Amino acid sequence: YFFYFIYKNISILDNIKNFDIQAIALIILLKVINVKLLSNINLHILKYLDIKLTNAESLDLTVKNILGNLSSPLRLGSGYKLSYLKNRYDFKIKDFLVWHTFFGILNLFPLMLIFFMYATYFDVVLIVNNLIIIVGLVALFITFLYLIENDVVKQRFNFNFNFTFFSKNNLLIQTNNVLFFFSNSLIVFIILESLTVKISFFSALAYSFLSSFVNLLNVTPGNIGVKEGLIILFNQVHKISYLSIIITSFIERLASLIVLFCFQLYFKNKSEIF
């Protein structure tokens, strides 16, 4: 379908010639930083399972995890990650799934807060028109925090949570989470600007914000099609045309694959972990 789309809209490829070497280098650099930020998040989440990886080991595992999820459906990269850790550390698979699901949801709320604050400053109409949804999401966040600390809920579902929201470990996770969000938004902004699509940084921020929700469920390889469909569906929020979304998504994924394969080659030659 993608090749059919390109065939029918071949003129949009002409805009790719607008990319200069500085833009390409910056996109690649930001993608490298993104992988490192995700590795840091992985490193600190695993500490809740008493799994202490080295920085190099976490980076290698993160690269294989992302590459697997990007190239295969149903989060097979995460399956590899679980298998690798289970062979080396003693933990319950249920605890692994609970902690990763927990942070998958929790990490959305700081991004939501940043997005709404940014939207309030630059696009008040957007906030006013969706005030009920915003209040509902805030209420959901407060309920979520209450439930994870509730002893009755812990006993009912046999959760062994030892989590404090305002802790050094969680602060490091959320710091890397927010930096990843802004870094990814900057990548989208650079791509669109290079395609001579005049947008505000808020549009790129909204693009990344919507993408973060899709990552909770991986159905197709890298959620291809699902991610683009959701972003196109909410085009009234980010004001980016569907043509620009599809070509941006293609360039973004291509940059990810290039960086991941470079990491993979590096670890294949230098690392003795695997």
Give 200-238 pLDDT, tens digit per residue: 888 899 899 888 887 766 665 656 667 777 777 777 777
Token pair of 189 as six digits: 């902004």
Give 108-160 pLDDT, tens digit per residue: 889 988 888 887 776 656 655 666 666 777 777 777 777 766 666 666 656 66
- Rounded to two decimals, the pTM is 0.87
Work out the angle between the directed axes of helices 76-86 and 93-106 (0-180°, nearest 10).
Answer: 130
Q: Length of the chain, please?
A: 274
Token pair of 28 as six digits: 């690649």
Nearest CA-CA partner of 206 in 253, 180, 239, 161: 239
